[in-house]
Amino acid sequence: MSRHSYTDTDFLKGASIAKVQSSVFDVTSAAYGGKPNSDITQALANAWRDACASTWPTKVVIPKGTYYLRGAILQGPCKAPIEVQVQGNLKAPLDSKYLTKQDTWVGFQYVDRFTLYGGGTFDGQNNCYKNKYCKATDAVNLRFDFVTNAMIRDITSLDSKHFHINVFGCRNVTFQYVTITAPEDSANTDGIHIGRSYGITVDHTTIGTGDDCISLGDGSKRIIVTNVTCGPGHGISIGSLGKYQNEEPVAGVIVKNCTLTNTQNGLRIKTWPGSPVFGTATHIHFQDIAMVNVGNPIFIDQQYCPYSQCAQKAPSTVQISRVTFANIKGTSATPVAVQLMCSRKLPCQNVGLEDIDITYSGDKGPLTSQCAYVKPQFTRVAILLLVLPILLV
């Protein structure tokens, strides 16, 4: 047989290669017509539609360049694993009234076996912090609803108009090498907010924003946060919890090997007083954390009530238990390094502090602690942290 002859095997290989090639859906291809420096809203919607309908694994590609996007709600279920490779810079409308959906700029819903990656940027173009007359919006840069078995890596979320990334009803999702950036005076720009989700991992991620770097709402279970760099922002928070009816328990949270720099708070659990129903937050572990000039480094706040929106006299009915702070070291921006302010109705249970070494060099007094309605277990905690007595009134 001639070396140029084709066998049945060769034919099948060729068909397989053609099938693989056809599994890439480029929004700038002739089929979809997207172009740099233009609006690709319809091109992206059409590329996702075709990719999601394929029975072969597919990839939607947004190549390098700048593109404008009024919004995208990319829904499943899809028939096979699907990737979205964003290499370019996507820009939201400056004016929120041009968004296709007022609470979401880019959303992924009901997708299984999903990957978002590529080194690209989602630029929410929030300039409200510069303009006091700017109308507030609830548009989240990236919203993941009921997404399962997914990887989000090597992307940037910039200047979101509201939360940068919102995770709800998801299972087994990993965020890795994500960068989140917003001015420290931009309101409600939480980095990653997680609620009612199971098995979420945030790893090797850098967050600097105007609110919590990471916040966990009710129903957050088996959450792992590792190697996160936070600052500026309000720290890493569990909560706030206990504001609404029918909240689900928080259970199984590990925050480890993180660095917080110039944040308003450090490691915080916050619940509202006057909670409408009983709730729980349990098995929460903070370990191996470095702090640089952090306000309120260790903080359990069961009297959380911003803007006087609640009845302060009614105690929180969220039971906090089995919480550990271990190997927490660095500098505090305030003289109160540890605050464990628990509920008088449901005192905190099984709270431990081990290997705490925090210093304060300011001029507002000596380093102290404040504790109420809790009997913490101290192991190798600097003596200065124990200046104030534990209050059990």
- Sign of the alpha-carbon dihedral angle for 375, 380, 382, 383: positive
- Give CA–CA dist 260/265, Å, rounded: 9
Kindly report the three-state secondary structure assignment for every residue of 45-112. Answer: HHHHHHHHHCCCCEEEEECCCEEECCCEEEECCCCCCEEEEECCEEECCCCHHHCCCCCEEEEEECCE
End-to-end Cα separation, the chain, in angstroms: 94
Active site residue 285: no
Which residue type does 192 have?
I
Planar angle of CA 89, 93, 95, nearest 5 degrees: 150
- Give CA–CA dist 291/60, Å, rounded: 40
Q: Which of 172, 204, 202, 174 is nearest to 190 (CA)?
A: 202
Distance from chain centroid for Cα 178: 10
Q: Which of 66, 87, 62, 65 is nearest to 74 (CA)?
A: 62
Place of tokens 């480890």: 256
Residue of 162, 164, 193, 234 with catalytic role? 234
CA distances from 253 to 31, 114, 219, 221 (A): 46, 24, 11, 7
Across 169-278, where does the E strand assignment appear?
Answer: 171-176, 179-181, 192-195, 198-208, 214-216, 221-230, 236-241, 250-261, 267-271
Residues 344 and 315 sit within 8 Å (Cβ to Cβ): yes
What SS3 class is residue 391?
strand
- Give CA–CA dist 265/23, Å, rounded: 47
| Residues involved in catalysis | 234
